[in-house]
């Protein structure tokens, strides 16, 4: 399904509320002229009766329980999907299962749920894919700003009328109290850099990482923090503009710094100690920790080259970077997650395709081994064919891909197990049926030669 122009009709009486709804929709559509605003339902019905425009989506406020006006909007909107913003969900009951998609959002949840609802309608094919607006501004999470030191560019916030206004200037040092000043007023606030200044931001991080690489001795705690924050920066940048050359250098330098911290003989016991003190969001801490565990297992089976460590650590850096929420990275069984009803269609699709996205990111890198692409593409496959996205069986796994899957399983086990149960023997007892085939069986035997996690 390809993107094409979609017109939207927004019918909401309150000017401020309507303005915020339109602001959200502007992020999903290239030309703001394709969003038609109206205050009056009667005016909207008259407009639709005149057939002045064909709409793909109508966002309609209905604070009562009358179905008459809703029926008129649906009939006159022809094939347009309708999102009803109301107080009584029963108003849409008779339209469920109809050919025209009708979705209800309570008034209180509209601002939080509108984007997710629109994306769900897109992915289910009920409305055409919007041509998303390519903003000249890039969002960055507020918790990253205090770690950047003197800012390499102005920082902006988006206000209700759609304008970006500067709040911090280039050269400023942003403190946690500065951030609290804004997020106490607007808890979900996002801060922005101009797209054309993103290169300067990444270049400053490259210099920090290169400086850390030359340190003797390494301040491991400080360096771990630098690696974690740069993962967050790269994740934000890549989700919006892809892996630019500068973002690639940040990723590679972060990987090289991780390998330097591990040393020539990475030991799981040391890594476990670090895990107890991990910081940051799940995706960043999990990705960094997974790379370390994978390298420790590689060392254990005799794969001890710097090239092997680089492949595994970069694969760990990339494997979940496209996922937008930590809770999505926790999903191991996609079929079970889908049946649970806890995931929206867009979230299920996001989980399903993220290995392929990670492989695409790997292909964007210059001069890295193709095995990195294979590792991330296969990181949710299982030797018996029950994994995703392709349902591969054991004969299609590369040796490093199989070791990476074992490392992931071990990380999950270690996170859940009490310290007294941290042994390879218990782990492999749980995985005996899964790993009793092909390359998985060979790796399991090699790792189990020592039953303690050292």
pLDDT in tens, 53-65: 678 899 989 877 6
Question: Is 368 a domain residue?
Answer: yes
Residues 32 and 176 placed together within one structural domain of the fold: no
Residues 141 and 180 placed together within one structural domain of the fold: yes
Question: Is 235 a domain residue?
Answer: no
310-362 pLDDT per residue, tens: 999 999 999 999 898 888 999 988 989 988 888 888 788 889 989 988 988 89
Question: Is 3 a domain residue?
Answer: no
Eight-state DSSP code of residue 56 = S
Mean pLDDT on 128-143 = 69
Q: Domain boundary at 123, 153, 172, which?
A: 123
Partners of 106 in beta bridges: 86
Residues 406 and 274 placed together within one structural domain of the fold: yes
Residues 73 and 147 placed together within one structural domain of the fold: no
Q: What percent of the chain has pLDDT over 90?
A: 30
The SS3 call for residue 219 is coil
Residues 154 and 176 placed together within one structural domain of the fold: yes
pLDDT at position 33 over 80 = no
Residues 158 and 119 placed together within one structural domain of the fold: no
3 falls in which pLDDT band (50, 70, 90)? Answer: very low
Tokens of 104: 């209800």
Question: Which strand (E) or helix (H) includes residue 36?
Answer: strand 35-38
Cα(83)–Cα(107) distance, integer angstroms: 11
- Specify the pTM: 0.70
Tokens of 302: 């005799």
Please count the structural domains in the chain.
Answer: 3
Q: Domain boundary at 178, 197, 216, which?
A: 197
Cα(39)–Cα(12) distance, integer angstroms: 5
Mean pLDDT on 207-221 = 89
Distance of CA 140 to the CA centre of its chain: 13
pLDDT at position 186 over 80 = no
Predicted pLDDT of residue 291: 95
Distance of CA 181 to the CA centre of its chain: 27
72-105 pLDDT per residue, tens: 888 888 778 899 998 888 888 888 777 788 899 9
Cα(406)–Cα(283) distance, integer angstroms: 18
Question: Is 234 a domain residue?
Answer: no
| Nearest CA among 296, 226, 221 for reference residue 255 | 226
Cα(243)–Cα(249) distance, integer angstroms: 9
DSSP assignment string, 271-327: HHHHHHT--S-HHHHHHHHHHHHHHHHHHHTT---HHHHHHHHHHHHHTTTT-SSHH
Residues 279 and 368 placed together within one structural domain of the fold: yes
Q: Do residues 287 and 321 lie in contact, with contact meaning Cβ atoms separated by under 8 Å?
A: yes
Top-confidence residue, 290 or 325: 290
Question: Is 226 a domain residue?
Answer: no
Q: Residue 37's domain is classified under what CATH number? A: 3.40.50.2300
442 falls in which pLDDT band (50, 70, 90)? Answer: very high
196 falls in which pLDDT band (50, 70, 90)? Answer: confident
Predicted pLDDT of residue 381: 96
Q: Which domain holds residue 34?
A: 8-123
Residues 16 and 70 placed together within one structural domain of the fold: yes
Q: What percent of the chain has pLDDT over 70?
A: 87
Q: Domain boundary at 197, 221, 246, which?
A: 197
Residues 119 and 144 placed together within one structural domain of the fold: no
Mean pLDDT on 198-226 = 88
pLDDT at position 223 over 80 = yes
Q: Do residues 57 and 80 lie in contact, with contact meaning Cβ atoms separated by under 8 Å?
A: yes
Q: Do residues 156 and 165 lie in contact, with contact meaning Cβ atoms separated by under 8 Å?
A: yes
Residues 145 and 270 placed together within one structural domain of the fold: no
274 falls in which pLDDT band (50, 70, 90)? Answer: low
Tokens of 96: 């469920």
User: Tokens 């500067």 label which residue?
Assistant: 166
pLDDT at position 189 over 70 = no
Predicted pLDDT of residue 404: 98
Question: Is 227 a domain residue?
Answer: no
371-428 pLDDT per residue, tens: 999 999 999 999 999 999 989 999 999 999 999 999 999 988 887 776 655 667 888 8
Residues 150 and 115 placed together within one structural domain of the fold: no
Mean pLDDT on 34-62 = 85
The mean of the pLDDT values for the chain is 84
Q: Residue 298's domain is classified under what CATH number? A: 1.10.3210.10
Cα(132)–Cα(454) distance, integer angstroms: 50
Residues 116 and 141 placed together within one structural domain of the fold: no
Beta-carbon count within 10 A of 79 CB? 13
Residues recorded for the chain: 454
């Amino acid at each position: 399904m390809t993107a094409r122009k979609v017109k939207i009709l927004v019918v909401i009486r309150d000017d401020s509320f309507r303005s915020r709804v339109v602001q959200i929709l502007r992020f999903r559509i290239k030309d703001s002229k394709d969003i038609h605003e109206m205050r009056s339902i009667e005016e909207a019905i008259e407009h639709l009766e005149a057939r002045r425009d064909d709409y793909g989506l109508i966002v309609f406020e209905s604070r009562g329980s009358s179905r008459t006006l809703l029926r008129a909007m649906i009939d006159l909107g022809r094939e347009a999907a309708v999102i009803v913003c109301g107080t009584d969900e029963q108003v849409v009951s008779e339209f469920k299962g109809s050919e025209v998609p009708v979705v209800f959002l309570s008034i209180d949840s509209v601002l939080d749920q509108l984007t997710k609802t629109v994306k769900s309608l897109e992915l289910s094919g009920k409305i055409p894919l919007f041509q998303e607006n390519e903003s000249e501004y890039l969002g960055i999470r507020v918790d990253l700003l205090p770690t950047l030191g003197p800012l390499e560019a102005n920082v902006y916030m988006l206000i209700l009328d759609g304008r970006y206004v500067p709040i911090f200037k280039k050269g400023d040092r942003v403190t946690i109290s500065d951030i609290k000043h804004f997020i106490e007023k607007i808890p979900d606030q996002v801060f922005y850099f101009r797209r054309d200044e993103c290169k300067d931001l990444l270049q400053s991080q490259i210099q920090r990482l290169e400086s850390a690489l030359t340190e003797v001795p390494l301040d491991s705690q400080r360096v771990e923090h630098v690696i974690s924050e740069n993962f967050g920066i790269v994740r934000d940048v890549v989700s919006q503009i892809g892996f630019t050359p500068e973002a690639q250098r940040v990723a590679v330098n972060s990987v090289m710094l991780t390998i330097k911290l591990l040393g020539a003989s990475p030991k799981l016991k040391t890594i476990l100690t670090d895990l107890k003190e991990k910081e940051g969001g799940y995706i960043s801490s999990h990705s960094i920790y997974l790379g370390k565990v994978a390298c420790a297992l590689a060392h254990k089976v005799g794969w001890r080259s710097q090239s092997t460590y680089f492949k595994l650590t970069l694969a760990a850096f990339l494997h979940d970077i496209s996922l937008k929420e930590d809770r999505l990275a926790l999903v191991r069984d996609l079929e079970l997650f889908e049946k649970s009803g806890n995931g929206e269609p867009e979230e299920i699709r996001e989980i399903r395709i993220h290995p392929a996205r990670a492989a695409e990111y790997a292909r964007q890198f210059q001069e890295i081994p193709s095995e990195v692409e294979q590792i991330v593409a296969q990181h949710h496959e299982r030797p018996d064919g029950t994994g995703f996205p392709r349902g591969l069986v054991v004969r299609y796994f590369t040796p490093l891909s199989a070791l990476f899957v074992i490392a992931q399983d071990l990380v999950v086990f270690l996170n859940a197990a009490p310290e007294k149960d941290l042994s390879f023997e218990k782990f492999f007892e749980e995985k005996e049926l899964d790993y009793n085939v092909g390359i998985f069986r060979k790796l399991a035997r090699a790792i189990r030669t020592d039953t303690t996690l050292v």
